[in-house]
């Protein structure tokens, strides 16, 4: 396994550990002594969270570009239709059809969950008395512990920067 692949797995694994650790800490150890605040986050805390999020997104993009540049070149068998320039991730690999289906099914489930959460947020924001919007949970968590919210935002935005803003080949 190449060092770039090991580094990518290390970054993804550490982001997963950070996010799961924050979730576990919030569920079992976080104590909120005052009633939860749903007020917008203002001042330095808001600026810091936005800055950390943007920095994580850009950092994830730069990290993905560095890992892609240091990856060992692979012999690829271009099985894409001529002239399209489309290559799948499994070209030239000994991956089975089952592995491709598992990855595609996971992607479909992730996108379906994202659509469902966005739809829930839209419905909840239409009438906040009937449903509690997801943004209220984020505001409550940030008011309870801004440092933990910043660490979570950094981990999530770093992953998004690697996946969404992937460098051109």
pLDDT tens readout for residues 111-143 = 898 899 899 999 988 888 888 888 888 888 888
12 within a domain of the structure (yes/no): yes
Q: Which parts of 36-169 are beta strand (E)?
A: none
Q: How many domains does the chain have?
A: 1
131 within a domain of the structure (yes/no): yes
Question: Domain limits at 131?
Answer: 3-31+41-72+95-163
Residue whose token pair is 């650790």: 21
123 within a domain of the structure (yes/no): yes
Q: What mean pLDDT is predicted for residues 7-23? A: 83
79 within a domain of the structure (yes/no): no
Most confident segment among 27-36, 43-52, 59-68:
43-52
Kindly report whether the global pTM for this prediction surpasses the value 0.85: no
The DSSP 8-state label assigned to residue 36 in this structure reads P
């Amino acid at each position: 396994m190449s060092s770039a692949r090991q580094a990518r797995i290390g970054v993804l694994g550490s982001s997963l550990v950070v996010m799961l650790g924050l979730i576990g800490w919030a569920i079992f150890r976080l104590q909120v002594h005052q009633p939860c605040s749903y007020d917008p986050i203002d001042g330095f805390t808001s600026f810091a969270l936005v800055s950390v999020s943007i920095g994580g997104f850009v950092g994830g993009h730069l990290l993905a570009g560095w890992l892609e540049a240091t990856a060992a070149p692979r012999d690829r068998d271009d099985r894409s239709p001529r002239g399209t320039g489309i290559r799948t991730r499994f070209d030239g690999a000994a991956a089975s059809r089952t592995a491709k289906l598992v990855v595609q099914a996971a992607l479909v489930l992730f996108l379906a969950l994202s659509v469902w959460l966005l739809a829930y947020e839209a419905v909840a924001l239409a009438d906040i008395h009937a449903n509690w919007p997801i943004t209220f949970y984020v505001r409550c968590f940030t008011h309870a512990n801004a440092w933990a919210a910043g660490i979570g935002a950094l981990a999530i935005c770093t992953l998004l920067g690697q996946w969404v803003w992937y460098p051109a080949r």
